[in-house]
Amino acid sequence: MSTLPAISVVIPAYNASSFLPTTLRSVLSQEGFELDVIVVDDGSSDDTAASIRKGYPQVRLLQQSNAGVAAARNHGLAQAQHEWVAFVDADDVWLPGKLQAQWAQLQRQPEAQMGYTAWRVWHTDDIEPAADLLLDVVQAGLAGDAAQHFAGASGWIYPELLADCVVWTSTVLARRSLLLDLGGFDAGLRIGEDYDLWLRASRLTPILRVPRPLALYRHHGSNITHRVPERNFKGEVVGRALARWGYTGPDGRQADRRLVDAGLARSWADFAGARLIEGQTQAARRAAWQALLLDRRQWLAWSVLAKSCLTPGRTA
């Protein structure tokens, strides 16, 4: 029987056969753990499932009809064998030592049930990260000023999360029981389902940050976040949190209300602009007013209001 720490790794995948092998190699090369690696194929039309069966027999493959990333992560979470669960998307990459650094930190602070790390954004359509890029990221994380350079929100971070989603899902390691008790990811959110869950988790546990870049966030043409949203998901997620808990964290710290409201207002102003471009003048006008109720300095919202009065369009 293994005495190594045990971690389940959940990887949602949709038409991911190009990038997924690179992701899997970065996960399977993590040393010092008994890994239960789960790929949830979310109704892919490419050979994602076949490539897993052929090339990665040590990986558990779950399949479902296309239901979105939140449902895929929830499926993997429900089937995970271990109490600690990590997440990584099928086009992202972990660096060596990622799990070791998080595990050591969480063992030092056992009151925390969740952690994440710093990361590097990787703008590319390349399949594999170049050796010089990996070396540069590793060296940056080991530099003497790394802890200061890559510092971020750590501990009871609800106030910081209200201002921005400072936690990136592909770096998260959390107790399975915590996430199940919270009900998992909200499958009704196409975008922001992770932000919503981290906000809810931040009410129950400190969330610890490892101040080293230990993952690569791949930015490429088919990222879901590049598409024009049909809803203001940030506005919904943060607005829901504020309605439930307000601006005060569980430890009594107050969020900077002006900063939170300004960020929320920007999200509504941006959404208003996107709706106006789509010709949805009434939706644009409603969103612009929502922005201005939060922050009257949102000049984009004023511009949308003016233009929506002059631009014919759909009323959705």
Q: Domain residue spans in the chain? A: 6-226, 233-308
The total of other beta-carbon atoms located within 10 Å of residue 147's CB is 13
Residue 210 phi/psi, 5-degree rounding, is: -85, 115
At 310 the pLDDT is: 75
Which position has the token pair 């002006």?
Answer: 258
How is 44-79 classified by DSSP, letter by letter?
-SSSHHHHHHHH-TTSEEEEE-S--HHHHHHHHHHH
At 130 the pLDDT is: 87
At 228 the pLDDT is: 65
- Rounded-to-integer distance, Cα 86 and Cα 309, Å: 49
At 220 the pLDDT is: 64
Cβ-contact 110, 116 below 8 angstroms:
no
Closest Cα to residue 233, out of 278, 276, 264?
264
Multiple choice CATH, 6-226, 2.60.40.10, 3.90.550.10, 3.30.360.10, 3.40.720.10: 3.90.550.10
E-strand stretches of the chain? 6-13, 34-42, 60-64, 84-87, 93-94, 114-123, 173-175, 207-219
Sort strands 114-123 and 207-219 into parallel, antiparallel or unpaired.
parallel
- The set of residues, in sequence order, having a beta carbon less than 8 Å from that of 257 and lying 6+ positions away, is 247
pTM to 2 decimal places: 0.92
At 230 the pLDDT is: 81
Which position has the token pair 């010709």?
Answer: 279
Cβ-contact 273, 284 below 8 angstroms:
yes
- The set of residues, in sequence order, having a beta carbon less than 8 Å from that of 300 and lying 6+ positions away, is 269, 270, 272, 273, 291
Tens digit of each residue's pLDDT, the chain (316 residues): 567 899 999 999 999 999 999 999 999 999 999 999 999 999 999 999 999 999 999 999 999 999 999 999 999 999 999 999 999 999 999 999 999 999 999 999 999 999 999 999 988 778 888 889 989 998 999 889 999 999 999 999 999 999 999 999 999 999 999 999 999 999 999 899 999 999 999 999 999 999 999 999 998 655 544 556 789 999 999 999 999 999 999 999 999 999 999 999 999 999 999 999 988 999 999 999 999 999 999 999 999 989 887 766 554 5
At 28 the pLDDT is: 98
Residue 159 phi/psi, 5-degree rounding, is: -60, -40
